[in-house]
Amino acid sequence: MSWLRALIDLGRRSLEKFVAMAGVDRSMALAAQLFTAMFPILIVLAATLEGGDGDSFGDKMVDRLDLTGSAADAARRAFPQSGAVEQSVTAFGVLILLISALSLARALQRMYEQAWKLESRGMRDTPYGLLWLAGVCLYASLHPALKGEMPHWLAEVSSIVGSFALFLATPYIVLGRRLDWRPLVPQAILGAVGMTALRGASELYLPRALASSAEQFGTIGFCFAIVSWLFAAAIVLTASAAIGACLAERPPPGAFIRSG
């Protein structure tokens, strides 16, 4: 029964940490920042890699989720053709997008600082935020291309491994390498498993939610449904950070904190 008591204690401590982190509010803020920062980055990145001649981000979403009717129309209206994106990209727009993306990186930094009880460093870790953005863009560029060349089972395994690597690298980088990577492994595993489960559930739920929202409210309803999904993903991210930090409290967290 000792393992059961340990599991209950872990659940209690994780819930307390999640509440102390204002987990629900922080997840909602992360979802909004993901929508305003990462979606535009992915759209511009896709347009740049395709040279403006490929399908739009909306077309890819329609194919991936098998959307039809009003949901498919809303997806194509919400995300323009890659040629239009390429022509509309300006230096000022890229600067604004970069500032928005760095704001997301700082939000993640604050979330992990609260989970691990680290001192807030704010703008001092901006270079690490840029490094994290570069890594995310590289991952978003290479992973779909490599996955398309693999058998289905190997593609699924690579998605889980890729999620694990992303969940491991994200806190390590945005925290400015103040934590050793080893105590971050449990939360990376939890994050990868949680996102894989969410993705599986989304294949059943998300198309219906997008279709219903688009039919009732048009493009804005479609966007609300996307933000709702991002909120669920942010909950996974925040909860895995809380649980992972609690798991690493034996030994104490200070044993893993880098000096300087």
Q: What is the pLDDT of residues 98-127, one digit of tens each?
A: 888 888 999 999 999 999 999 988 788 889
Q: Helices marked H in the chain — which ranges?
A: 2-20, 23-33, 39-50, 57-65, 69-78, 82-88, 91-116, 126-148, 152-174, 185-217, 219-247
**Residue partners of 212: CB distance under 8 A and separation at least 6:** 225
Return the pLDDT at 159.
83
How many domains, the chain? 1
**Residue partners of 146: CB distance under 8 A and separation at least 6:** 158
pLDDT band at 55 (very low <50, low <70, confident <90, very high): low
2 inside domain: no
79 inside domain: yes
183 prior amide bond cis, ω within 30 = no
206 inside domain: yes
Distance CA 135, CA 82 (A): 22
Residue 251 has pLDDT above 50, yes or no: no
Residue 90 has pLDDT above 60, yes or no: yes
Instruction: Identify the CA nearest to 201 among candidates 241, 228, 170, 168.
Output: 228
Cα dist. 56→5, 61, 68, 253, 258 in Å? Answer: 51, 9, 16, 45, 44
9 inside domain: no
Residue 132 has pLDDT above 90, yes or no: yes
89 inside domain: yes
3 inside domain: no
Tens of pLDDT, residues 181-227: 999 999 999 999 999 899 888 888 888 888 888 888 888 888 889 89
Average pLDDT, the chain: 82
11 inside domain: no
What range defines the domain where residue 43 resides?
A: 22-255
213 inside domain: yes
- Answer yes or no: are the C-beta atoms of 151 and 189 closer than 8 Å: no
Burial of 5 (0-12, 13-18, 19+ CB in 10 A): exposed
Q: What pTM does this model have?
A: 0.83
Burial of 257 (0-12, 13-18, 19+ CB in 10 A): middle
